[in-house]
Protein backbone atom coordinates (compact mmCIF):
# COMPACT_ATOMS: atom_id res chain seq x y z
CA UNK A 1 0.00 0.00 0.00
CA UNK A 2 1.10 3.57 -0.63
CA UNK A 3 2.30 6.07 1.95
CA UNK A 4 0.16 8.80 3.45
CA UNK A 5 2.68 11.62 2.96
CA UNK A 6 1.64 12.99 -0.43
CA UNK A 7 -2.09 12.21 -0.30
CA UNK A 8 -4.55 15.09 0.06
CA UNK A 9 -7.55 14.14 2.20
CA UNK A 10 -9.55 17.30 1.45
CA UNK A 11 -13.25 16.44 1.30
CA UNK A 12 -12.60 12.75 2.02
CA UNK A 13 -14.13 10.46 4.62
CA UNK A 14 -11.28 8.33 5.91
CA UNK A 15 -11.58 5.18 8.00
CA UNK A 16 -8.43 4.65 10.05
CA UNK A 17 -7.39 1.47 11.84
CA UNK A 18 -5.57 2.67 14.94
CA UNK A 19 -4.30 0.76 17.95
CA UNK A 20 -6.01 2.19 21.01
CA UNK A 21 -5.57 -1.00 23.05
CA UNK A 22 -4.37 1.06 25.99
CA UNK A 23 -4.02 0.10 29.67
CA UNK A 24 -6.56 1.52 32.10
CA UNK A 25 -6.32 2.31 35.79
CA UNK A 26 -8.52 -0.32 37.46
CA UNK A 27 -9.72 2.11 40.12
CA UNK A 28 -10.40 5.25 38.06
CA UNK A 29 -10.92 3.78 34.59
CA UNK A 30 -8.57 6.42 33.17
CA UNK A 31 -5.90 5.68 30.58
CA UNK A 32 -2.68 4.96 32.47
CA UNK A 33 -0.39 5.01 29.41
CA UNK A 34 -1.42 6.98 26.31
CA UNK A 35 1.63 6.10 24.18
CA UNK A 36 -0.48 4.37 21.54
CA UNK A 37 -2.91 7.27 21.34
CA UNK A 38 -0.05 9.73 20.85
CA UNK A 39 1.43 7.44 18.21
CA UNK A 40 -1.69 7.74 16.04
CA UNK A 41 -1.99 11.53 16.29
CA UNK A 42 0.21 12.54 13.31
CA UNK A 43 -1.97 10.54 10.92
CA UNK A 44 -5.23 11.82 12.41
CA UNK A 45 -3.91 15.39 12.40
CA UNK A 46 -2.97 15.25 8.71
CA UNK A 47 -6.43 14.02 7.72
CA UNK A 48 -8.12 16.79 9.69
CA UNK A 49 -5.76 19.57 8.59
CA UNK A 50 -6.08 18.48 4.95
CA UNK A 51 -9.82 19.07 5.23
CA UNK A 52 -11.01 15.51 5.64
CA UNK A 53 -12.88 13.71 8.42
CA UNK A 54 -11.68 10.64 10.30
CA UNK A 55 -13.54 7.52 11.38
CA UNK A 56 -11.36 5.73 13.91
CA UNK A 57 -11.62 2.02 14.67
CA UNK A 58 -9.69 -0.09 17.16
CA UNK A 59 -9.87 -3.07 19.48
CA UNK A 60 -9.27 -3.02 23.22
CA UNK A 61 -8.66 -6.07 25.36
CA UNK A 62 -10.14 -9.47 24.60
CA UNK A 63 -13.90 -9.39 25.18
CA UNK A 64 -15.47 -12.79 24.53
CA UNK A 65 -19.03 -13.91 23.84
CA UNK A 66 -20.51 -10.44 24.19
CA UNK A 67 -23.49 -8.95 22.43
CA UNK A 68 -22.24 -5.94 20.44
CA UNK A 69 -25.07 -3.84 21.81
CA UNK A 70 -24.50 -4.99 25.39
CA UNK A 71 -20.73 -5.33 25.51
CA UNK A 72 -18.72 -5.47 28.70
CA UNK A 73 -18.30 -1.82 29.68
CA UNK A 74 -14.71 -2.34 30.81
CA UNK A 75 -13.76 -2.93 27.17
CA UNK A 76 -15.72 -0.01 25.71
CA UNK A 77 -13.68 2.53 23.76
CA UNK A 78 -16.09 5.23 24.90
CA UNK A 79 -14.18 5.56 28.17
CA UNK A 80 -10.94 6.58 26.45
CA UNK A 81 -12.45 9.50 24.50
CA UNK A 82 -11.26 12.13 27.03
CA UNK A 83 -7.69 10.84 26.63
CA UNK A 84 -7.95 11.29 22.85
CA UNK A 85 -9.67 14.70 23.02
CA UNK A 86 -6.83 15.91 25.24
CA UNK A 87 -4.69 15.94 22.09
CA UNK A 88 -7.15 16.41 19.22
CA UNK A 89 -8.33 19.73 20.66
CA UNK A 90 -4.84 21.02 19.84
CA UNK A 91 -5.61 20.71 16.13
CA UNK A 92 -9.20 21.91 16.25
CA UNK A 93 -11.24 18.87 17.31
CA UNK A 94 -12.30 19.37 20.95
CA UNK A 95 -15.12 16.81 20.76
CA UNK A 96 -15.04 13.29 19.36
CA UNK A 97 -18.26 11.60 18.34
CA UNK A 98 -18.91 7.97 19.28
CA UNK A 99 -20.73 5.13 17.53
CA UNK A 100 -22.01 2.51 19.97
CA UNK A 101 -22.44 -0.09 17.22
CA UNK A 102 -19.71 -0.62 14.62
CA UNK A 103 -22.07 -2.44 12.30
CA UNK A 104 -24.75 0.26 12.34
CA UNK A 105 -22.89 3.55 12.13
CA UNK A 106 -24.16 4.50 8.65
CA UNK A 107 -26.06 7.60 9.73
CA UNK A 108 -23.24 8.95 11.89
CA UNK A 109 -20.64 8.32 9.20
CA UNK A 110 -22.82 9.95 6.55
CA UNK A 111 -23.38 13.05 8.70
CA UNK A 112 -19.69 13.47 9.49
CA UNK A 113 -18.30 16.77 8.22
CA UNK A 114 -14.78 17.92 7.38
CA UNK A 115 -12.74 18.44 10.53
CA UNK A 116 -14.75 15.97 12.61
CA UNK A 117 -13.79 12.64 14.18
CA UNK A 118 -15.98 9.61 14.83
CA UNK A 119 -14.75 6.76 17.04
CA UNK A 120 -16.34 3.34 16.53
CA UNK A 121 -17.01 0.94 19.39
CA UNK A 122 -14.53 -1.84 20.22
CA UNK A 123 -14.12 -4.00 17.12
CA UNK A 124 -13.70 -7.13 19.20
CA UNK A 125 -17.25 -6.89 20.50
CA UNK A 126 -17.84 -8.59 17.16
CA UNK A 127 -16.55 -12.12 16.52
CA UNK A 128 -16.41 -11.11 12.85
CA UNK A 129 -13.39 -8.88 13.53
CA UNK A 130 -11.06 -11.79 14.26
CA UNK A 131 -13.03 -14.18 12.07
CA UNK A 132 -13.12 -16.92 14.70
CA UNK A 133 -16.34 -18.61 15.83
CA UNK A 134 -17.07 -18.18 19.53
CA UNK A 135 -18.65 -20.66 21.89
CA UNK A 136 -17.40 -23.72 20.04
CA UNK A 137 -14.17 -25.65 20.55
CA UNK A 138 -11.81 -26.73 17.77
CA UNK A 139 -12.43 -30.41 18.52
CA UNK A 140 -16.18 -29.98 18.02
CA UNK A 141 -17.28 -31.78 14.81
CA UNK A 142 -19.20 -28.64 13.82
CA UNK A 143 -16.20 -26.33 14.20
CA UNK A 144 -15.12 -26.34 10.54
CA UNK A 145 -18.63 -25.43 9.37
CA UNK A 146 -18.84 -22.69 12.01
CA UNK A 147 -15.46 -21.32 10.94
CA UNK A 148 -16.50 -21.24 7.28
CA UNK A 149 -19.71 -19.41 8.20
CA UNK A 150 -17.76 -16.94 10.35
CA UNK A 151 -15.31 -16.19 7.52
CA UNK A 152 -18.26 -15.26 5.30
CA UNK A 153 -19.61 -13.01 8.05
CA UNK A 154 -16.16 -11.48 8.48
CA UNK A 155 -16.09 -10.48 4.82
CA UNK A 156 -19.53 -8.85 5.17
CA UNK A 157 -18.45 -7.05 8.36
CA UNK A 158 -15.35 -5.69 6.61
CA UNK A 159 -17.45 -4.46 3.68
CA UNK A 160 -19.77 -2.73 6.14
CA UNK A 161 -16.86 -0.90 7.77
CA UNK A 162 -15.51 0.03 4.34
CA UNK A 163 -18.86 1.49 3.31
CA UNK A 164 -18.45 4.31 5.83
CA UNK A 165 -15.53 5.90 3.97
CA UNK A 166 -13.82 6.60 0.66
CA UNK A 167 -10.26 6.03 1.86
CA UNK A 168 -8.70 3.43 4.16
CA UNK A 169 -5.61 4.05 6.29
CA UNK A 170 -3.97 1.37 8.41
CA UNK A 171 -1.88 2.84 11.22
CA UNK A 172 -2.03 -0.06 13.70
CA UNK A 173 1.41 -1.64 13.41
CA UNK A 174 0.80 -4.15 16.22
CA UNK A 175 -2.13 -5.78 14.42
CA UNK A 176 -1.13 -5.19 10.79
CA UNK A 177 0.03 -8.79 10.38
CA UNK A 178 -3.34 -10.26 11.34
CA UNK A 179 -6.00 -11.19 8.81
CA UNK A 180 -8.74 -9.36 10.67
CA UNK A 181 -11.76 -7.57 9.24
CA UNK A 182 -10.31 -4.13 10.02
CA UNK A 183 -6.85 -4.86 8.61
CA UNK A 184 -6.30 -7.25 5.71
CA UNK A 185 -9.94 -7.96 4.82
CA UNK A 186 -11.22 -4.38 4.65
CA UNK A 187 -8.32 -3.40 2.38
CA UNK A 188 -9.82 -5.55 -0.39
CA UNK A 189 -12.76 -3.12 -0.59
CA UNK A 190 -10.61 -0.15 -1.62
CA UNK A 191 -8.74 0.55 -4.88
CA UNK A 192 -4.96 0.78 -4.69
CA UNK A 193 -4.95 4.58 -4.71
CA UNK A 194 -7.44 4.75 -1.82
CA UNK A 195 -5.67 2.56 0.74
CA UNK A 196 -2.44 3.38 2.51
CA UNK A 197 -0.32 3.08 5.63
CA UNK A 198 -0.28 5.87 8.20
CA UNK A 199 2.74 7.68 9.59
CA UNK A 200 3.21 5.28 12.51
CA UNK A 201 3.39 2.14 10.37
CA UNK A 202 5.69 3.84 7.88
CA UNK A 203 7.97 4.91 10.73
CA UNK A 204 8.17 1.31 11.95
CA UNK A 205 8.75 -0.05 8.44
CA UNK A 206 11.53 2.47 7.78
CA UNK A 207 13.20 1.52 11.06
CA UNK A 208 12.96 -2.18 10.24
CA UNK A 209 14.34 -1.61 6.75
CA UNK A 210 17.30 0.30 8.17
CA UNK A 211 18.05 -2.43 10.70
CA UNK A 212 17.70 -5.28 8.22
CA UNK A 213 19.58 -3.72 5.33
CA UNK A 214 22.08 -1.38 6.95
CA UNK A 215 23.01 -3.08 10.21
CA UNK A 216 26.58 -3.33 11.46
CA UNK A 217 27.85 -6.76 12.47
CA UNK A 218 27.71 -8.62 14.74
CA UNK A 219 23.95 -8.19 14.48
CA UNK A 220 21.81 -9.49 17.35
CA UNK A 221 18.01 -9.70 17.19
CA UNK A 222 15.74 -10.14 20.20
CA UNK A 223 12.34 -11.74 19.62
CA UNK A 224 9.48 -11.95 22.10
CA UNK A 225 5.76 -12.50 22.11
CA UNK A 226 3.47 -15.42 22.78
CA UNK A 227 3.25 -17.21 19.45
CA UNK A 228 5.87 -18.72 17.16
CA UNK A 229 3.26 -18.72 14.39
CA UNK A 230 3.01 -14.91 14.51
CA UNK A 231 6.77 -14.50 14.13
CA UNK A 232 7.72 -17.26 11.69
CA UNK A 233 8.23 -15.02 8.65
CA UNK A 234 10.24 -12.48 10.64
CA UNK A 235 12.41 -15.17 12.24
CA UNK A 236 13.03 -16.88 8.89
CA UNK A 237 14.13 -13.58 7.34
CA UNK A 238 16.35 -12.75 10.30
CA UNK A 239 18.26 -16.02 10.02
CA UNK A 240 19.86 -14.72 6.82
CA UNK A 241 20.94 -11.47 8.47
CA UNK A 242 21.81 -12.00 12.12
CA UNK A 243 24.66 -13.64 13.95
CA UNK A 244 22.76 -13.97 17.23
CA UNK A 245 19.05 -14.54 17.90
CA UNK A 246 17.69 -14.15 21.42
CA UNK A 247 14.24 -15.66 21.95
CA UNK A 248 12.12 -14.72 24.96
CA UNK A 249 8.51 -14.24 25.94
CA UNK A 250 5.79 -16.86 25.90
CA UNK A 251 7.03 -18.52 22.73
CA UNK A 252 10.14 -19.61 24.65
CA UNK A 253 8.27 -22.66 25.86
CA UNK A 254 7.31 -23.89 22.41
CA UNK A 255 11.03 -24.03 21.62
CA UNK A 256 11.90 -25.57 24.99
CA UNK A 257 9.33 -28.34 24.56
CA UNK A 258 10.52 -28.92 20.99
CA UNK A 259 13.96 -29.57 22.51
CA UNK A 260 12.52 -32.08 24.96
CA UNK A 261 12.27 -29.87 28.03
CA UNK A 262 9.58 -30.06 30.70
CA UNK A 263 7.42 -26.92 30.59
CA UNK A 264 4.67 -27.76 33.07
CA UNK A 265 1.57 -25.70 32.29
CA UNK A 266 3.49 -22.98 30.45
CA UNK A 267 2.14 -21.41 27.28
CA UNK A 268 2.89 -23.61 24.27
CA UNK A 269 1.73 -23.96 20.68
CA UNK A 270 1.54 -27.74 20.55
CA UNK A 271 0.92 -27.76 16.80
CA UNK A 272 4.07 -25.70 16.18
CA UNK A 273 6.65 -27.93 17.88
CA UNK A 274 7.97 -29.28 14.59
CA UNK A 275 8.16 -25.72 13.24
CA UNK A 276 10.15 -24.59 16.28
CA UNK A 277 12.60 -27.47 15.85
CA UNK A 278 12.89 -26.66 12.14
CA UNK A 279 13.78 -23.04 12.98
CA UNK A 280 16.47 -24.17 15.40
CA UNK A 281 17.91 -26.57 12.82
CA UNK A 282 17.99 -23.82 10.16
CA UNK A 283 19.72 -21.46 12.57
CA UNK A 284 22.39 -24.04 13.31
CA UNK A 285 22.93 -24.71 9.60
CA UNK A 286 23.38 -20.98 8.96
CA UNK A 287 25.75 -20.52 11.88
CA UNK A 288 23.31 -18.38 13.87
CA UNK A 289 23.64 -18.57 17.65
CA UNK A 290 20.21 -19.00 19.26
CA UNK A 291 19.85 -18.08 22.92
CA UNK A 292 16.89 -19.14 25.06
CA UNK A 293 16.30 -18.18 28.70
CA UNK A 294 18.22 -20.25 31.25
CA UNK A 295 15.84 -19.99 34.19
CA UNK A 296 12.38 -18.62 34.83
CA UNK A 297 10.00 -17.38 37.49
CA UNK A 298 7.02 -19.73 37.69
CA UNK A 299 3.54 -19.41 39.17
CA UNK A 300 0.86 -21.93 40.07
CA UNK A 301 -1.78 -19.73 38.42
CA UNK A 302 -2.00 -16.56 36.35
CA UNK A 303 -2.95 -14.24 39.18
CA UNK A 304 -1.33 -11.49 41.21
CA UNK A 305 -1.77 -13.61 44.36
CA UNK A 306 -0.22 -16.73 42.85
CA UNK A 307 2.51 -18.72 44.55
CA UNK A 308 5.83 -18.53 42.73
CA UNK A 309 9.17 -20.25 42.46
CA UNK A 310 12.25 -20.28 40.23
CA UNK A 311 13.48 -23.19 38.14
CA UNK A 312 15.56 -23.95 35.08
CA UNK A 313 13.48 -23.02 32.06
CA UNK A 314 13.54 -26.60 30.79
CA UNK A 315 12.50 -28.09 34.12
CA UNK A 316 9.29 -26.29 35.04
CA UNK A 317 7.51 -28.18 37.86
CA UNK A 318 4.34 -30.01 36.87
CA UNK A 319 1.28 -27.83 37.47
CA UNK A 320 3.30 -24.60 37.27
CA UNK A 321 3.72 -22.12 34.43
CA UNK A 322 6.74 -20.04 33.48
CA UNK A 323 5.90 -16.33 33.35
CA UNK A 324 9.18 -14.39 33.24
CA UNK A 325 12.94 -14.76 33.07
CA UNK A 326 14.83 -15.13 36.34
CA UNK A 327 18.28 -13.90 37.42
CA UNK A 328 20.53 -16.17 35.36
Residue 301's φ and ψ, nearest 5 degrees, are -165, 160
For the ranges 60-69, 180-189, 204-213, 231-240, the lowest mean pLDDT is seen at 60-69
CA distances from 291 to 82, 220, 238, 294 (A): 44, 10, 14, 9
In-domain check, residue 244: yes
- Domain residues for the domain of 187 are 2-202
**d(C-alpha 128, C-alpha 188), whole Å:** 16
pTM of the model: 0.77
Residue 167 forms part of a structural domain = yes
Backbone angles phi, psi at 33, to 5 degrees: -150, 110
- For 113, other C-beta atoms within 10 Å of its C-beta total 7
Enclosing H/E stretch for 280: helix 273-285
Query: Could you tell me which residue, 19 or 236, shows the higher pLDDT?
Result: 19
**Is residue 207 a part of any domain in this protein?**
no
Residue 208 lies in a domain: no
Domain co-membership, 176 together with 256:
no
What was the pLDDT predicted at 175? 80
Instruction: Give the chain's domain count.
Output: 2
Residue 66 has pLDDT above 80, yes or no: no
At residue 176, the pLDDT reads 77
For 229-271, the pLDDT digits (tens) are 777 778 888 898 899 999 998 899 999 999 999 999 999 999 8
Q: Are residues 127 and 235 in the same domain?
A: no
Q: Report pLDDT digits (tens) over 37-50.
A: 999 999 999 999 99
Q: pLDDT confidence of 69, banded at 50, 70, 90?
A: low
Q: Do 182 and 314 belong together in one domain?
A: no
Residue 209 included in any domain:
no
Q: Are residues 37 and 105 in the same domain?
A: yes
Q: How confident is the model at residue 284 (pLDDT cuts 50, 70, 90)?
A: very high
Q: How many CB atoms lie within 10 A of CB 233?
A: 10
Tell me: pLDDT of 68 over 70.
no
Output the domain CATH number for residue 275.
Answer: 3.40.50.1260
Given a contact cutoff of 8 angstroms between Cβ atoms, the answer to whether 228 and 270 are in contact is: no
First to last CA, the chain: 44
Residue 224 lies in a domain: yes
Pairing of strands 321-325, 244-247: unpaired
Taking residues 21-35, report their average pLDDT.
89
Amino acid sequence: MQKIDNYNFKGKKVIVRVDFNVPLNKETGEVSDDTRIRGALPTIKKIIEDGGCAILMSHMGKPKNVNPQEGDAKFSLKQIIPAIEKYTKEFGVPTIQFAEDCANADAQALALKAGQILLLQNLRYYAEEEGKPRGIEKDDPNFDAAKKEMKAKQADFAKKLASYAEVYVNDAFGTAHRKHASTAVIADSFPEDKKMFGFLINKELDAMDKVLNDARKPFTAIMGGAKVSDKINVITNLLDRVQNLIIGGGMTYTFIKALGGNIGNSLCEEDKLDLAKEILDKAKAKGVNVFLPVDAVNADKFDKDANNNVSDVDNTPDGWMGLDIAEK
